[in-house]
Amino acid sequence: EDQVTQSPEALRLQEGESSSLNCSYTVSGLRGLFWYRQDPGKGPEFLFTLYSAGEEKEKERLKATLTKKESFLHITAPKPEDSATYLCAVHRGQAGTALIFGKGTTLSVSS
Amino acid sequence: KAGVTQTPRYLIKTRGQQVTLSCSPISGHRSVSWYQQTPGQGLQFLFEYFSETQRNKGNFPGRFSGRQFSNSRSEMNVSTLELGDSALYLCASRNLRGTQEDEQYFGPGTRLTVT
């Protein structure tokens, strides 16, 4: 069964304390892995798309990487405004199938 | 470019009633998907529409239905509401340009409370 697991469920960091969020997946034929950020009461905001193992993408303090079994979202020197829930989703091989989302990692960054 | 818009933003209904939610995608996007988000289950796929046709459907009962209009705007309907239908309903649009999967852009959601 296709599955997406994110860890940890919650992460508390001090401002400037770098860390990584994990997204492990088991899908048949990955067509794309997506990272989203969601603030309370709002819809998810698109961050990155990764298509193949070895691919990396960066945006400000965030860097996403992809292997054949997992993806990492690295957060460098986080600020309080980075506090949010980060969601990982995968699109598997069969065209027309939906995104499968993980439960998310809730990040809290304190100053 | 305007983002995905959803109306209404908040809704309170009683068990047994029905509800219709509306979504306007980003201009030029022809694919619209609907998701249900709850604290326990997370984001779960309901259905996707492309060019007025349902392209894919998730594992939800027949009480959940949707449609898409020629201008790509979409509606979803939930009949005979149950308490468990209380959730944030999210709409997402994407471009579907080529062989790679395009990212989906989400609206702010409709918060449905069933009492």
Instruction: Give the pLDDT confidence of A62-97 residue by residue, as tens digits.
Output: 999 999 999 999 999 999 999 999 999 998 766 566
Instruction: Identify the residue among B4, B51, B102, B103 best suited for mutation to test binding to A, counting A beta carbons within 10 A and taking the highest.
Output: B103
Q: What is the pLDDT of residue B100?
A: 65
Say if residue A4's pLDDT is above 80.
Answer: yes
Q: What is the pLDDT of residue B103?
A: 86
Instruction: Give the pLDDT confidence of B33-78 residue by residue, as tens digits.
Output: 999 999 989 999 999 999 999 988 999 999 999 999 999 999 999 9
CA-based nearest distance B90→chain A, Å: 7
In chain A, residues with a C-beta closer than 8 Å to the C-beta of B92 are 43
Let me know the angle formed at the C-alpha of B108 by B66 and B77, rounded to the nearest 5 degrees: 20
Chain B contact present for A51, CB below 8 A: yes
What's the rounded Cα separation, in Å, for the pair B40 and B42?
6
Instruction: Identify the residue among B5, B43, B44 best suited for mutation to test binding to A, counting A beta carbons within 10 A and taking the highest.
Output: B43
Instruction: Give the pLDDT confidence of B52-61 residue by residue, as tens digits.
Output: 999 889 999 9
Task: Find out whether A44 and A87 touch, Cβ atoms under 8 Å.
Answer: yes
Check residues B80 and B104 and name the one with the higher pLDDT: B80
In chain B, residues with a C-beta closer than 8 Å to the C-beta of A103 are 42
Residue A92 to residues A53, A56, B5, B53, B103: CA-CA distances in angstroms? 14, 19, 27, 21, 13
Q: What is the pLDDT of residue B2?
A: 82
Q: Is A71 left (phi over 0), alpha (psi -120 to 50) or beta?
A: beta
Q: Please judge whether A44 and B101 are an interchain contact, meaning their C-beta atoms are less than 8 angstroms apart.
A: no
